[in-house]
A and B are shown apart, each in its own frame.
Chain A
């Protein structure tokens, strides 16, 4: 478990609870720096899950953490925005750093070549060797800030500062599934083929979204991710082992 402290929330704050229609409320935390707000939103989701487990709150259907807020979707036939606000408000005063996550997941990646068409350009722009880019990308354990936009797309933060680059000026119309892209302090792996503007430096051999599985999404907000380098042969072997059910992703609690 990593312990992160975040700045205290403003109390009171008139933009804390925003309406998201008749079946959702947003708990807005934009009074905190974004990094803190992301963690506070996840911590709040965890605190709410605990009181759901104790049966002290009813009617919540889903909770979606964003970078600076938490969307709570509820069944208006069971509860109301007013009751939820009343039930959630005390949790805000006692938010702890406990996110209830903290799994460490090791994901293989084949950098460069046809899988990482932007690696050379990234290295040239940053004035370092491609080996240095690959080494630095593996050096930091990344933090899954939020999930979303596409099934299984994880926004992983905490990339080595020496690799900070904006997104590409012209997005690609087609990015192959499982491409690994970097931009600013973040890394994404495209779960599905999609248009995209991130700098593609590698590809992973295992799906982050597997519709065939009962639990189809590998990563969760709050997980930590460590990438390790594999070559083309290892890539092909892991991909085929995964398909035949013989590759197990290393997950540490």
Chain B
């Protein structure tokens, strides 16, 4: 069951901020929340993978103190920001922080920033994951189209029935339709046999009945 009450007990936070009243307050408040902290300043050239969240000073420059190559979006970043000078805001946004806390820090707002940043980071990772899948699908769309065209020609089918045959064949081979379309085009002699089998299986049925469209809507 997903917890309704956010709990950061046992999480580790890296704080990239000079040792001062703000970082002391941050450490005390995070400790109250059960979070282990490590304050490092100046920022290291490499950042270990042990942390669940990174707080970073967004006021120091001239660019962001976080080298973009070190940040892979895998964990939430929380900016500690005092200034509102546009150049600093630009540097802060360049590393895509998922939350921001205002200087001078107060105890109130730190728990909220944690909850916020974990949520945004999780949401962003979900979107990124879907994007990868969608980009791949778009890239392979032309091969699917080519495969449908060749099936339409070979069996004299309309586009819906050709798509259904292609889909059935890929399913019987247990691979994604895009991957099957690719193999079909690269080696038609070998792979068209699978489509032949699907066509003959369905030869007794009317290929244009609604049940086919219904079937491929499920994909």
**Same complex:** no
Q: Which residues of A contact B (CB under 8 A)?
A: none
Q: Which residues of B contact A (CB under 8 A)?
A: none
